[in-house]
């Protein structure tokens, strides 16, 4: 006897902040929905990234849901920037408060999703050997959810412990007195290194590219500020949504070119922001992300700070990036550069002394074999497309997403991709996503999708499909705006440059308010650029 197949209006993949809010909205509008989540709990990014020191780089009062006033009023953040445990606690609180768990199936991965032309629905298979049918497929799979393990020879030969920052164990990892090596110096490493150094007997950092980092100046939450924000939380949210990256921080950006300000005043402004901490640094002038000459000024300032903090001038030099500041995502740290003054911490520039391989006992470079008890990979993610492409997604006439995106992701609004009808991506490539406060972007996408589903219900449409021409125009437009900035000038994961063989395409859309406006125009013009059948 064949098993009965469960059917839903919508299947949501992923129970991070995107999947949870999507479920909330779907239920509110009476859709039958299920969420499949590979982890055994909610939280997505914040479920997986449990490495010591993991912390959000957007201030807590902004990095939270705005959809429920009761929620934002009742929740108390303890610090200016929340640490991973607190954000995960918040995600769990949201799941409980809105009774979301009853429609989330944990420890269940979606393996394939095939669109059925005749039925205008998706046939979705999971690793629990189940197939379900849903009219809508909503990928809430996150932008940084497929970890990247470098192709270094001998990883499996190493007999000590290995960890990836993006898949850190749930139990505390005891590093007391151990010899620890860490590969990578991106944002995760920059947060983790000071913590690893506190415990490790010896810490060796293998750096390929130095990164710019600004002190976070984390502190306890300020009760006056909390009271002020909560006094008009909706007003605060609306004001923030109008900022270019939907993030305001606590120091307003200055609307003046760095090149129009005398040198001493320029330095004073940069100093003030360095002391204030956080992304406010890039708001010192309005052209740091646009004009190389202006950017050089801010970059030189940070290099000067590194030289002041780090005792050994050679180490300071190795830690100093020579590229554009803010081109890769700016890192925020707590005593990162200071850590290199500790006698048991060593920096290895692998451009000068390349890693040959991992051995039974540690890491072998051209000059030295370093012995370790633990090797940490802080080597990032196959960002934005990695997780989507790992699922066998097939659209119209069996077209696979892998085939379609062979030369890089192509989307319309970063929400849909032509010939994959009734499939939506939350914070997909071609949307502002990682260049913004993610929760704000997520809420905007979920609300857009919900309104679209309501429109389809009202007009009795079976399928929505992006038109290829609209998609081509969108891809060209996203590239054109990126081309007006300094973003494409370095090898960042925004460009896919961290993954060997990945097509070099700038994936996120620059700017939030202009994006929202485009999305609204599409709706106001009866879903312009979409074919509704
Ligand atoms: P990132 O920012 O992608 O950093 C990964 C780091 O790992 C970076 O320093 C890389 O050097 C390094 N890396 C990657 N592959 C190798 C190999 N093969 N050998 C040596 N070093 C390597 O990931 P994170 O997890 O730190 O941060 C991701 C985002 O999370 C961050 O932007 C925030 O938005 C939050 P490279 O620079 O490629 O030379």
Nearest atom in ligand 1 to the alpha carbon of residue 189 is 26
Contact 422, 10 (CB under 8 A): no
Determine the pLDDT at residue 4. Answer: 83
The answer on pLDDT for 455 being more than 60 is yes
Where would I find the H helices in 287-385?
292-309, 313-319, 336-339
CB 423 within 8 A of CB 416: yes
pLDDT, one tens digit per residue, over 260-277 is: 999 999 999 999 999 999
Taking only the tens place, the pLDDT of each residue in 98-157 is: 999 999 999 999 999 999 999 999 999 999 999 999 999 999 999 999 999 999 999 999
How far CA 401 is from CA of 220, 273, 394, 462, in Å, comes to: 45, 44, 6, 21
Compute the chain's Rg from CA coordinates. 23
Where does residue 389 rank: exposed (0-12), middle (13-18), buried (19+ CB within 10 A)? middle
Q: Which atom of ligand 1 is nearest to the CA of 379?
A: 7
Mean pLDDT, range 460-474, rounded to an integer: 98
Question: Does residue 2 register a pLDDT over 60?
Answer: no
Structure confidence by residue, pLDDT tens digits, 367-381: 999 999 999 999 999
Ligand 1 pocket check: which of 48, 83, 143, 186 to mutate, most ligand atoms within 8 Å of Cβ?
Answer: 186
252 CA to middle of ligand 1, Å? 29
- What is the distance in A from the centroid of ligand 1 to the CA of 386? 15
Q: Is 150 in the pocket of ligand 1 (CB under 6 A)?
A: yes
- The C-alpha atoms of residue 133 and residue 121 are separated, in whole angstroms, by 7
User: What residues are paired with 161 via a beta bridge?
Assistant: 374
Would the pLDDT of 1 be above 50? no
| Average pLDDT estimate for 68-84 | 98
Q: What is the DSSP string of 395-459?
A: -GGG-BHHHHTTTS---BTTTB-TT-TTEEETT-TTSSGGGS-HHHHHHHHHHHHHHHHHHHHHT
Ligand 1 contact, 422 CB (< 6 A): no
How far apart, in whole angstroms, are the C-alpha atoms of residue 448 and residue 434? 18
Report whether residue 330 contacts ligand 1, using a CB cutoff of 6 Å: no
CA distances for 97 relative to 26, 31, 317, 515, angstroms: 16, 20, 50, 31
């Amino acid at each position: 006897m064949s098993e009965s197949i469960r059917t839903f209006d919508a299947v949501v993949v992923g129970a991070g902040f995107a999947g949870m809010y999507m479920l909330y909205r779907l239920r509110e509008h009476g859709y039958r929905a299920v969420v499949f989540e590979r982890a055994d709990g909610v939280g997505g990014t914040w479920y997986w990234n449990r490495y010591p020191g993991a912390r959000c780089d957007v201030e807590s009062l902004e990095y939270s849901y705005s959809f429920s006033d009761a929620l934002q009023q009742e929740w108390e953040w303890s610090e200016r920037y929340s640490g991973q445990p607190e954000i995960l606690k918040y995600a769990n609180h949201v799941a409980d408060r809105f009774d979301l768990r009853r429609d989330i199936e944990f420890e269940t991965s979606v393996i394939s999703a095939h669109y059925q032309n005749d039925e205008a629905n998706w046939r979705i298979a999971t690793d629990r050997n189940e197939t379900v049918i849903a009219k809508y497929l909503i990928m809430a799979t996150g932008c940084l959810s497929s970890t990247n393990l470098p192709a270094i020879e001998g990883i499996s030969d190493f007999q000590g412990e290995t960890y990836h920052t993006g898949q850190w164990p749930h139990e505390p990892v005891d590093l007391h007195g151990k010899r620890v090596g860490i590969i990578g110096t991106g944002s995760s490493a920059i947060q983790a290194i000071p913590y690893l150094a506190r415990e490790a007997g010896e810490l060796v950092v293998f750096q390929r590219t130095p990164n710019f980092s600004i002190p976070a100046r984390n502190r306890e939450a300020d009760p006056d500020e909390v009271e002020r924000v909560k006094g008009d939380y909706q007003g605060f949210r609306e004001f923030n949504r109008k900022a270019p990256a939907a993030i305001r921080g606590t120091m307003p950006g200055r609307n003046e070119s760095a090149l129009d300000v005398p040198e001493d005043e320029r330095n004073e402004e940069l100093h003030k922001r360095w002391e204030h901490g956080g992304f406010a640094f890039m708001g010192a002038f309005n052209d740091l992300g646009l004009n190389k000459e202006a950017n050089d000024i801010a970059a030189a300032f940070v290099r000067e700070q590194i030289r002041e903090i780090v005792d050994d001038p050679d180490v300071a030099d190795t830690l100093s990036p020579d590229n554009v500041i803010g081109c890769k995502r700016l890192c925020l740290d707590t005593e990162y550069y200071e850590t290199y003054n500790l006698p048991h911490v060593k920096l290895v520039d692998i451009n000068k002394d390349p890693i040959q391989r991992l051995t039974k006992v540690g890491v072998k470079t051209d000059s030295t074999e370093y012995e370790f008890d633990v090797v940490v990979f802080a080597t990032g993610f196959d960002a934005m497309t990695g997780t989507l492409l790992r699922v066998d997604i097939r659209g119209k006439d069996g077209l696979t997403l892998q085939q379609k995106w062979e030369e890089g992701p192509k989307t319309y609004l970063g929400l849909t991709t032509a010939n994959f009808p009734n499939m939506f991506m939350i914070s997909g490539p071609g949307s502002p996503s990682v260049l913004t406060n993610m929760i704000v972007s997520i809420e905007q996408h979920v609300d857009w999708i919900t309104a679209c589903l309501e429109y389809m219900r009202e007009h009795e449409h079976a399928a929505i499909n992006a038109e290829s021409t609209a998609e081509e125009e969108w891809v060209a437009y996203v590239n054109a705006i990126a081309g007006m900035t300094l973003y494409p000038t370095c090898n960042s994961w925004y460009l896919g440059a961290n993954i060997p063989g990945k097509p070099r395409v700038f994936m996120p859309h620059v700017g939030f308010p202009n994006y929202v406006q485009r999305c609204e125009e599409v709706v106001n013009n009866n879903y312009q650029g979409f074919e509704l059948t």
